[in-house]
Every structure is written in structure tokens, then in C-alpha cells.
């Protein structure tokens, strides 16, 4: 595929469920990043940088100044919106 796109095909046998998706380069890197975080799967430096850069840009666009206060259960500070439940 071009531009780092990949095809992902997965199946859940118990449900007779099969799906195929074309992932962008960032989506594929995000999936590999999540798999790395979940079970230690290999993660390239390029994927780590791509995902962390995208998260940094998202953080900036949302105006979140302190990520420690951005997660579930976080207590809002002055001017911060409450964390989603």
C-alpha cells in the first residue's frame, strides 16, 4: 500500500465475524503502539515517534497543559473541564 497504509484482516471465530480495514500509516502505528503497551510486542522507534508526535499535537490542540489531569478519574483544576467518565 502507499503512504504507509496497511490492510488489517481479523476474524472472531466464535462470532463468525470477519473484517478487513485499510489503515493509514498513523492508524497502523497506533495499533502497534497499543499492542506494545498491552503485551510488549515489538515497536519501532519510527512508530513510537509518529504516535507520540500525533498525541502531542492533539494535546496542544485541546489545550491540555497537564496530562496528569487528563485521564479518567482525574480531578479538574481551575479552568480545566472535568475528565470524561
Q: pTM to 2 decimals?
A: 0.66
Q: Please give the distance of CA 64 from its chain centroid, rounded to a whole number.
A: 17
Q: Name which residue leads in pLDDT, 3 or 82.
A: 3
pLDDT at 73: 59
Distance CA(73)–CA(55), nearest Å, equals 20
Residue 16 reports pLDDT greater than 90: yes
pLDDT at 64: 77
The residue length of the chain stands at 85
Tens-place pLDDT, residues 22-75? 999 999 999 999 999 999 999 999 999 999 999 999 998 988 766 665 555 555
Amino acid at each position: 500500500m502507499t503512504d504507509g497504509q496497511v490492510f488489517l484482516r481479523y476474524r472472531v471465530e466464535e462470532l463468525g465475524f470477519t473484517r478487513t480495514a485499510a489503515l493509514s500509516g498513523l492508524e497502523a502505528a497506533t495499533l502497534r503502539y497499543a499492542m506494545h503497551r498491552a503485551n510488549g510486542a515489538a515497536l519501532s522507534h519510527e512508530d513510537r515517534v509518529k504516535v507520540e508526535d500525533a498525541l502531542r499535537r492533539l494535546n496542544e490542540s485541546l489545550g491540555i497543559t497537564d496530562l496528569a489531569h487528563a485521564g479518567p478519574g482525574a480531578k479538574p483544576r481551575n479552568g480545566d473541564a472535568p475528565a470524561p467518565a
